[in-house]
Amino acid sequence: MINKEIADALNSQMNFEMYSANIYMSMASWFDAKNLTGCANWMKIQYAEEMFHCTKFYNYINERGARVLIDGMPAPATEWDSPLAAFETALGHEQIVTSRINDLVAQAIEAKDHATVNFLQWFIGEQVEEEASVDGVIQQLKLMEGAPGGLFMLDRELGQRVFTPPAK
């Protein structure tokens, strides 16, 4: 059975992953309203990834014999000043997620919960990928400032992104 403090921390992160999913779906809605359907697609894929992460936490907590607890969460923002601002918000959020995962690892190490440390290693690698992915879009948006045709091309490219659930 898992330590109560670790189970509580994992439940908190699972709920934060659901909150993250809501942020990305809100961003998708904003992009769809701006007729930037490729950007909206990118955010919908992020939503799917966050829900996958949530499910991984859910399954792990359950497998370790703890109770999964779903909390209420705040409503996400619904407006951004620009596509760049939305993606910068996404990067800032991913950096918070990374910090939270790192704190979870430290807590699991302190509790000598090696199974949880092992479980969290996947998320450490995932966060490197998450931050790099959104930062890549930000860098492209910055390069094309003042060139609306660039946004059109990037939007088309982002529309090609698909969600492929990672192997367990």
Give every CB contact of residue 142 below 8 A, 6+ residues apart in sequence.
84
Amino acid letter, 39: C
Element (H, E) at 104: helix 83-110
Tell me, yes or no, whether 168 lies in a domain.
no
Q: Tens digit of pLDDT for each residue in 89-108?
A: 999 999 999 999 999 999 99
So what's the pLDDT on residue 165? 85
For residue 163, is it within any domain?
A: no
Instruction: Please indicate, yes or no, if residue 133 is contained in any of the structural domains.
Output: yes
Type of residue numbered 121 = Q
Q: What is the pLDDT of residue 48?
A: 97
What residues make up the domain containing 74? 4-158
> CATH code at 142?
1.20.1260.10
Closest CA to 75 of 25, 33, 30, 35: 25
Q: Is residue 164 part of a domain?
A: no
* pTM, rounded to two decimals: 0.94
113-144 pLDDT, tens digit per residue, is 999 999 999 999 999 999 999 999 999 999 99
Count Cβ atoms within 10 A of the Cβ of residue 95 and give its class: 0-12 exposed, 13-18 middle, 19 or more buried: middle
